[in-house]
Structure 1
């Protein structure tokens, strides 16, 4: 099948209290692993990239790989822009064929964030592409951007209600205690805050920085409107670990058709576990 949007899959997940896994698509091997893992449990899946990923891969290759993966897949596959940092980046992805967009104006004032996101929804809505946006600041490392823990702040529920209402977004990423990258200690998720945000916005919520969050906490978040959960760091860590381990045992091997196999197999199992964790 062709690439689909995230709109219907997130709407169904939100209604029925489960979540769709969204996985960082950094190269062909990871894309194939994500699809294989999702197929094995019969779940829709979201491939997502930041702008630095598609710039590294180069957009024509990124789109070709995602489309080929979707066409071969037995499950619905969406291609999502994660943390689009500007309107120009969003438009580049829309023109190229991304089927879901996140615009991240979380570092702006509330007024400027609303204006930027509204501009994106006005562009994406008429062509049927859903938009995700963020309010509050999620800490940690995302590509080359670092938000120190002291700089992160939680989403204000009343501001979230206004933000969602005035921007017309399809899904919302609140800051409620998760962080990008590796955690230095177990995150303390603010479920009371998440509950207030869900009741005031009533749209699918997105958990960023799920890598390393305990399963119990991830599953609990599904009761409070989380319908999309992002994973990236764990995939990259495991992929690198498996490649390193292969070369420790096979220092003279030079065939990527061999040294990527253990990494792919490990990622398939990881994706399966993550998706099953998101089912109720």
Structure 2
């Protein structure tokens, strides 16, 4: 299948009532691991490259071009998405490189400024056929910017979508970025109300802190795109520590990066199965998604 648009993965998942997995790339080893996972699970996957990842690599081109090349050569449907982008220039560079979707993150701004910034970049992206995700409600835990405990208001979210034209919305329903323990309980009632009120797919950020069954309940309630980063980074790092701890004299980085890459591939493949396994939605939060006209 190789490289596909992000929109095709999200639309198919939303129609099927399953999760669209979006896992973050940190470096080449994680990108390779994630593509391997998608191939093993025979499942589509969105590879996300964050602005922080781009800064780590010095510029957009090296990690983005490598990730796109892996997607193009894969037997699984793989999309490439830029995540939490605050710099409009990176959106322009990403579009030129062949990235099909962007998460425009103006959520640290006051509401009116978030709307204006998001609307301008969304219009630019739509002129080039790109899919745009934005955030409303401030998901907790990201660099101290987002207020934990905030919830997205359905009426405000609908007004935001109408004003900006975004194609997907990341909403605050109880998750938090960069969690190391998978203990979060999400507000499924709110997810159901948001799903019923909004004409676009819902995105869950901070999914690393959410247990498997709770992710499945969130999808049943109406969540579609599920972003996971910290959990898989922890799997990678734990493997490196274990290998180096067992052999402190080891110096060849390939000998500790290879098992870490395999550990991430195994866990990512397992998560893909979790997110694609539907469960019944309780009546109290099941709702029919509206169709955008």
SS in 1 for 2:209: coil
Q: Matches of residues 195-274 of structure 1 in structure 2 within 5 Å?
A: 195-274=192-271
Q: Matches of residues 96-245 of structure 1 in structure 2 within 5 Å?
A: 96-141=97-142, 145-147=143-145, 151-182=148-179, 186-245=183-242
1:94 paired with 2:95, answer yes
Work out the CA distance in 2 between the residues paired with 1:128 and 1:72. Answer: 23
The 8 Å contact of residues 87 and 116 in structure 1, kept in 2 or not, is answered as no
Q: TM-score, normalised by structure 2?
A: 0.89
Root-mean-square deviation (Å):
1.7
Q: Matches of residues 10-29 of structure 1 in structure 2 within 5 Å?
A: 10-29=10-29
Return the offset for 1:202.
2.6
Work out the CA distance in 2 between the residues paired with 1:185 and 1:53. Answer: 23
Work out the CA distance in 2 between the residues paired with 1:250 and 1:7. Answer: 45
SS in 2 for 1:140: coil
Unaligned runs of 5+ in 1: none
Figure out how many residues of one structure are paired with residues of the other and give that number.
276
The 8 Å contact of residues 185 and 210 in structure 2, kept in 1 or not, is answered as no
Segments ≥4 residues shifted beyond 4 Å:
none
- Deviation readout 1:59-104 (Å, 9 max, x if unpaired): 2211221122012200111111111113233223223332210011
Gap change, CA 1:69 and 1:237, over 3 Å in 2: same
1:63 paired with 2:61, answer no
SS in 2 for 1:178: coil
The 8 Å contact of residues 136 and 152 in structure 1, kept in 2 or not, is answered as no
Q: TM-score, normalised by structure 1?
A: 0.93
The 8 Å contact of residues 191 and 221 in structure 1, kept in 2 or not, is answered as yes
Task: Give the corresponding residue for 2:5.
Answer: 5
